[in-house]
Amino acid sequence: MALFRFRTRNPERDRLSDATRFLSIKRAIRDVVAETERERDGFRRRYDDASVNAAFSFENMENEGETEKVSAQVDNLTQALTRFSQRIDFLEKQMAFMQEMDDAITTFENANGIGQTEPKSD
């Protein structure tokens, strides 16, 4: 009858595998946050531009009297400002959520000794 010999992996190799896995997740999260920040910043610039245009259009409407064209332009800019504001708010929610995920991973890593030279004992 043959006896089977089982070998286990080196704990350092396991720790390195775990740390690499979580680092990949955290990098992906940080890439998404950076992408979301760029999108938010673009919407902020458009919001600022639309605000300036709305102010000038409104001033023009007050000075020269309300025309259908200027009134429609002010309405369109007001709607755009609302949409931009809503999108900016949602992008900021996404970034906060991603940061919470990153923090949760860090907490999990710390609690389980991932990436540390010595494992934490239970």
For residue 2, being part of any structural domain is answered with: no
Cα separation of 59 and 43, whole Å? 24
Total of domains in the chain? 1
Give the helix/strand (H/E) hosting 110: helix 68-111
The Cα-based distances of 17 to 7, 11, 26, 30, 69 in angstroms read 18, 10, 14, 20, 64
pLDDT at position 119: 45
**Which of 3, 24, 40 has its CA nearest to residue 115?**
24
Residue 7 in any domain: the answer is no
pTM: 0.77
46, part of any domain: yes
Per the domain annotation, does 4 fall within a domain?
no
Asked if residue 67 belongs to a domain, the reply is: yes
64 part of a folded domain: yes
Q: Which domain holds residue 64?
A: 12-111
- pLDDT for residue 4 is more than 80: no
Residue 105 lies in a domain: yes
Phi-psi region of 7 (alpha: psi -120 to 50; beta: other; left: phi over 0): beta
Interval 87-116: pLDDT, tens: 999 999 999 999 999 999 999 999 999 866
